[in-house]
Structure 1
């Protein structure tokens, strides 16, 4: 039986806390072009989405640098359904099989993230990360937003979401369900066309099913992230909040929902960095 100690989970998150400069874009672009061979990013320095893609591609470099493993000593591999893992060179045979690092990258708005774990390749690729901003997009009413997401929900989930009295609680419940589903779908390597309504999460009863079958063996870690973000020509600081969920298949006999509301507990496995911290270490990431 698998335990939390066998494949420990770590998450790195980048806060896009301010606007970026041309110099910072160029430095990130050069690093990704030279060191991340599995990513093809077009040079678009004025495109914020392009900058997000560059920072996201840099996260595996940061993680491996943190482990003091030179770039020339590891390879980024991928399964047929797009699941990534990293293999390291120069390891003795008895350590090689358990040295695989599976990871998944995710993003939404001002928050980027990478969830990773280490162990046998067949286990570590089953990890996924879901990130969703706790905000109704645009200026549409909350009811319209829920209606636009209804095709992803089951009747039971929709009833649980709309049963909340306060609009903020309705939105939070919706985002919890959506991040649970997105993290699971990404953990198993499903495409964007995957029908999320095939999944059903009953958070109150701590149960979940896929096509009517119980999702045993899965661990879902849920937490929220609050960011201070400066935006605009004359930057004004605004607060953004995100719902996050990390899914991992441990192969145990039950299903676990683990809530991290205590910042100190969250810090034991989730690390937040910003643009300044990320760009500062660029010279070291190619080594």
Structure 2
């Protein structure tokens, strides 16, 4: 199934001003009225959630498709896809085939300062099962990486817990933990399950490149894994703030096997993952309604 994957990662390197927040929230209310985002500019979490809902609008503007030519649709389990409206004769089989393959499946998520959207284009039934997971490689303040990992053991199988044993060292434990969590989040969202889903029903045996759900192989799934490293200067100093995020995409390709792609080469990553900033969104926010 030839459905290329594209990912946008938006770095929220700063908070919005009250005016910017109001402008974006007005666009959200007009274009995405179902979005459960409260008008609360003093709460940073609402800004990130709002950005996640605005990313599909930004993506379609980037494709030069006006708002009147597409509709956001949703499956019964909450999986989103974009239906592009193409005018043409109903009895033209070529035009009908093009319309059928113009659907865009997507999923958005965020963690701390990184908002991501994974998307692919093709037939509706082929594109809706896509999900993205993002986990910052950092323990909460006041908690060591190993204790943080232990607090999340309930989301892991005994085999997965063995991969993040304390003797592995804190850096390895955090990196492996976030890989597992990002993969599980991506898959859970790709199949349209709520976050209350029992994560321990899934097992990712990374060394053997195997993935199972309730003990059965996740045949037909492709998992892509990469790390996003971000940073910005600290005002009035020579220092920089650095953050690293473990990211994963899950996509159902209907093949017979399970495929893992570990994207370590920066050039290859740039071919399908695009990094943008909050300012790039804000610069065109008022035009997203067009």
Q: TM-score, normalising length from structure 1?
A: 0.94
SS in 2 for 1:174: helix
Query: What residue number does 1:27 align with?
Result: 23
Tell me the distance in 1 between the aligned counterparts of 2:153 and 2:207: 20
Deviation at 1:164, TM superposition (A): 6.0
Query: What residue number does 1:182 align with?
Result: 185
Tell me the distance in 2 between the aligned counterparts of 1:69 and 1:164: 53
Query: What residue number does 1:250 align with?
Result: 253
Identify the match of residue 38 of structure 2 among 18, 42, 45: 42
Tell me the distance in 2 between the aligned counterparts of 1:145 and 1:165: 14
Q: Contact 1:17–1:230 at 8 Å: present in 2 too?
A: no
Identify the match of residue 82 of structure 2 among 72, 76, 86: 86
Tell me the distance in 1 between the aligned counterparts of 2:129 and 2:50: 24
Tell me the distance in 2 between the aligned counterparts of 1:109 and 1:232: 20
Tell me the distance in 1 between the aligned counterparts of 2:273 and 2:203: 27
Q: Contact 1:77–1:84 at 8 Å: present in 2 too?
A: yes
Q: TM-score, normalising length from structure 2?
A: 0.93
Deviation at 1:163, TM superposition (A): 6.9
Deviation at 1:100, TM superposition (A): 0.9
User: After superposition, where does 1:1-287 map in structure 2 within 5 Å?
Assistant: 2=1, 6-91=2-87, 92-162=95-165, 165-229=168-232, 237-287=240-290
1:119-153 CA distance string (max 9 Å, x none): 11111110000000000112112232112100111
Matched residue count: 283
Structure 1: 5+ residue runs without aligned partners?
Answer: none
Q: Contact 2:149–2:173 at 8 Å: present in 1 too?
A: no
Structure 2: 5+ residue runs without aligned partners?
Answer: 88-94
Tell me the distance in 1 between the aligned counterparts of 2:194 and 2:58: 26
* Cα RMSD for the two superposed structures: 1.9
SS in 1 for 2:76: coil
